[in-house]
Structure 1
Amino acid sequence: MNPHLSQLHPYPFEKLVTLKQGITPPADKAHIALSIGEPKHATPHFIQEALLRHLHGLTQYPTTKGLPELRQAIADWTCRRFGIPTGGVDAETQVLPVNGTREALFSLVQAVVDPADKPVVIMPNPFYQIYEGAALLAGAEPYYLNTVEVDGYLPDFDSVPEAIWQRCQLIFICSPGNPTGTVLTQSDHLKLLALADKYDFVIASDECYTELYDDEAHPPQGLLQSAYQAGITDFKRCVIFQSLSKRSNAPGLRSGFVAGDAEVLKQYFKYRTYHGCPMPVPTQHASIAAWNDEEHVNLNRQLYRDKFSAFIEILQDVCEISRPPASFYIWLKTPIDDAEFAKQLFAQQNITVLPGSYLSRDSGGINPGANHVRIALVAPIEECVEAAQRIKAFLNENKP
């Protein structure tokens, strides 16, 4: 067996099952799940209909590169969304459709990393655990870049030692962040682009939450947007990951894309032809419909805004809680150990949240996820309001 498999940590939700084992929550309270970032809003009918209209496509083997119409729809959306001139993203050489960002985040690392060179993969801490698993299985050493409150829960690139940058082959950034909802600015991107140019590493920007933001006048900045504005029109060393899971409430569609540096994508495409992961043709047509429509995304954002407003209003007088600029997560500080908080909240109120320490690693003498829980406001607003009321009661009854 691959010896690197032994280095993999249990997935956060496996730990959560163990944490809750043997606990019987109150029977008079319906369970409310706020632990998994799985959108519960309805998938728009026009996406479903596009899928059904093209079921005849199941008789075809799909190609790894995908339909030209899909790549063009993705390229056009990327240009519209990130202020890049039409044609600034080449659908032929700078776009690849993928079966959701999870498989792409993992597989890109396998294509990019050279294990013979003592590679390092830098990632934010806390993080999406795929980053770590991808690095370990590629034979790289993960470097955990703490995102802590004093820095606004943003990565401090200046804190990374020179020796780490010299060995870095790829860095993951996640903006808007999971679990914090914080957003990297153009100046953050420019600093990282300069570092990538100096030390020659790939920037892998996980942007699957960019379409869920609070301020309609200030959508989150994308990496390709920053690169283009800085004159890096070939997106050298830049790769972004986007998905329809959050944007279009279609996590089961397993549809997203990778875009950016044509040279990186050329080699990644070669890898994917062996990886065996082309997107089914009906899924591609449903994806074209989704990328070509913004009305449903605007409505989706408003649903999350309403939930954030209602949830925070209920809790703001009993705990320190802030509204993130983007994503659908509340990164809540806990008055006690985060795992104990989650355990007792389930036992007393039948609500499941995710301990922050399950999303991070000890680094530099701290675990930056400790004493936080991630709350995913994915349930209907009525359930989110009920959950907030129960959490308020829990906090009032369990004051340290």
Structure 2
Amino acid sequence: MNPHLQDLHPYPFEKLRALFEGITPPAGYSPIRLSIGEPQHATPAFIRESLVDNLGGLANYPTTQGSDALRKSIASWLERRYSLPAVDPATQVLPVNGSREALFAFAQCVVDGAKPDALVICPNPFYQIYEGAAYLAGAKPYFVNNLPDDRFASDFAAVPEADWQRVQLVYVCSPGNPTGRVLSLDEWKQLFELSDRYGFVIAADECYSEIYFDDANLPIGGLEAAHRLGRSDFRNLVMFSSLSKRSNVPGMRSGFVAGDAAILKRFLLYRTYHGCAMSPSVQAASAAAWDDEAHVAENRRLYREKFDVITPLIAAHLDVELPDAGFYLWANVSRLGLSDTEFARRLQAEYNVTVLPGSYLAREAHGVNPGAGFVRIALVADLAECIEAATRVATFAQQLSNNP
């Protein structure tokens, strides 16, 4: 067996099930699950129809590179969304079966596991796929803490020179999961300069890019930052995106990677052996989704409506602010005198609302677990259910304040 399997941690939701063992929530409260980032808005009808209309494609083996039509749709979307010059759909775009699969596979392709001291930098807290990908590629994760005192920025300047010499891959998540923070152009510039100096590859996870709250300040993407900084070849940069959150189709498992053509050429070779070609019917529906923005604007409106109402309800009792983007509230519960795990357990037991303890999304690094004391609240349910959940959270928090 692969010896690195023993390095893998239980997934956060496995820990959550163990935390809730023995709990029987009160029957008077219907369950509300705000722990998992699974979009619950309706899938647009035209995407479903496109999927059904193209079922004839199931009679054909798909190519790993995907259809010309899908790659052109993705390239055109990138050009529109990020004001990029021509993106080459043949060399700079590659469809994938959801960003999760690609984020994991990318490390297996990029990391030289023959070097026993290889490092993969991950934000902390983080999406656990980064950590698992690093371990199974034969590297070790190096965690860069995202702390509230610096608005959850990654302090790359704090990484020692000796460690940078060992870094082969850097995962960044912007907008961040769970913090919702968007990297600035200056932060991208710093990261590109470090990449030039040390030769590592940047994997930019941008799956939440289309859920934002200010039309005048769209989240900047990695490719956009590279272009604005004169790096239009996107050297050593690959971005990952997905239709799951943007178009409410997590079950379609459809996303793409784009960026450095030389890296994507090698990643395509890897994927040819990996056996991960996207179904032709899913490709057709995906192209239709990337070509349409009206449903994305409506999806964004629904999230904005929820955040406008829910954020002040929660902020009256917990330390939380509207994120830059994404659909999570990253709420600090420390002032209530409970750990994040005890808060989540009691909220489940007493009010039947499920949130995810922040410590489950982070690792202790540099003397601290940056997720400790926080809970992640995914505002994925409909408005009425989110309001009900927020009301219960507020009642619970008030109860704790009155009875410390």
Q: What is aligned with 2:111?
A: 113
Question: What does 1:342-381 correspond to in 2, within 5 Å?
Answer: 342-381=344-383
Whole-Å separation in 2 of the counterparts to 1:327 and 1:205:
15
Question: Given residue 164 of structure 1, which amino acid in structure 2 is its aligned partner?
Answer: D
* Residue-by-residue CA offset, 1:143-179 (whole Å, 9 max, x unaligned): 0000000110111111111111111000000000000
Question: Given residue 62 of structure 1, which amino acid in structure 2 is its aligned partner?
Answer: P
Question: Given residue 229 of structure 1, which amino acid in structure 2 is its aligned partner?
Answer: R
* Residue-by-residue CA offset, 1:277-302 (whole Å, 9 max, x unaligned): 00000000000000000011011111
Question: Given residue 201 of structure 1, which amino acid in structure 2 is its aligned partner?
Answer: F
Question: Given residue 349 of structure 1, which amino acid in structure 2 is its aligned partner?
Answer: Y
Q: What is aligned with 2:21?
A: 21
Whole-Å separation in 2 of the counterparts to 1:315 and 1:168:
39
Whole-Å separation in 1 of the counterparts to 2:299 and 2:314:
23
Deviation at 1:231, TM superposition (A): 1.2
* Residue-by-residue CA offset, 1:301-334 (whole Å, 9 max, x unaligned): 1100110111123233223221111000000001
Whole-Å separation in 2 of the counterparts to 1:296 and 1:161:
45
Question: Given residue 143 of structure 1, which amino acid in structure 2 is its aligned partner?
Answer: Y
Whole-Å separation in 2 of the counterparts to 1:326 and 1:21:
33
Which has the higher mean CA deviation after the structures are superposed, 315-324 or 25-34? 315-324
Return closer, same or farther for 1:313/1:150 CA change in 2, 3 Å cut-off.
closer
Q: What is aligned with 1:384?
A: 386
Question: What does 1:240-259 correspond to in 2, within 5 Å?
Answer: 240-259=239-258
Q: What is aligned with 2:5?
A: 5
Q: Quick check: 1:96 aligned with 2:94?
A: yes
Question: Given residue 4 of structure 2, which amino acid in structure 1 is its aligned partner?
Answer: H
Question: Given residue 63 of structure 2, which amino acid in structure 1 is its aligned partner?
Answer: T
Q: What is aligned with 1:154?
A: 153
> SS of 1:28's equivalent?
coil
> SS of 2:191's equivalent?
helix
Q: Give the count of matched residue pairs.
A: 398
Q: What is aligned with 1:217?
A: 216
Q: What is aligned with 1:67?
A: 67
> SS of 2:153's equivalent?
coil
Deviation at 1:257, TM superposition (A): 0.1
Question: Given residue 105 of structure 1, which amino acid in structure 2 is its aligned partner?
Answer: L
Question: What does 1:229-240 correspond to in 2, within 5 Å?
Answer: 229-240=228-239
Q: What is aligned with 2:44?
A: 44
* Residue-by-residue CA offset, 1:17-74 (whole Å, 9 max, x unaligned): 0001110000000000000000000010000110000001000000000001100110
Whole-Å separation in 2 of the counterparts to 1:313 and 1:212:
19
Aligned Cα RMSD in Å?
0.7
Whole-Å separation in 1 of the counterparts to 2:315 and 2:290:
37
Q: Quick check: 1:32 aligned with 2:32?
A: yes
Whole-Å separation in 2 of the counterparts to 1:262 and 1:329:
33
Question: Given residue 58 of structure 2, which amino acid in structure 1 is its aligned partner?
Answer: L
> SS of 2:165's equivalent?
helix
Deviation at 1:226, TM superposition (A): 0.8
Question: Given residue 104 of structure 1, which amino acid in structure 2 is its aligned partner?
Answer: A
Whole-Å separation in 2 of the counterparts to 1:78 and 1:382:
34
Question: Given residue 345 of structure 2, which amino acid in structure 1 is its aligned partner?
Answer: K
Whole-Å separation in 2 of the counterparts to 1:317 and 1:208:
29
Q: What is aligned with 1:397?
A: 399
Question: Given residue 264 of structure 1, which amino acid in structure 2 is its aligned partner?
Answer: I
Deviation at 1:233, TM superposition (A): 1.1
Question: Given residue 381 of structure 1, which amino acid in structure 2 is its aligned partner?
Answer: L
Q: What is aligned with 1:315?
A: 314
Whole-Å separation in 2 of the counterparts to 1:351 and 1:119:
41
Q: What is aligned with 1:296?
A: 295
Question: Given residue 109 of structure 2, which amino acid in structure 1 is its aligned partner?
Answer: A
Aligned sequence identity (%): 57
Deviation at 1:8, TM superposition (A): 0.2
Question: What does 1:103-142 correspond to in 2, within 5 Å?
Answer: 103-117=101-115, 118-142=117-141
Whole-Å separation in 1 of the counterparts to 2:172 and 2:159:
14
> SS of 1:115's equivalent?
coil
Question: Given residue 20 of structure 1, which amino acid in structure 2 is its aligned partner?
Answer: F
When normalised by structure 1's length, the TM-score is: 0.99
> SS of 1:154's equivalent?
coil
> Could you list the runs of 5+ residues in structure 2 that have no partner in the other structure?
none
> Could you list the runs of 5+ residues in structure 1 that have no partner in the other structure?
none
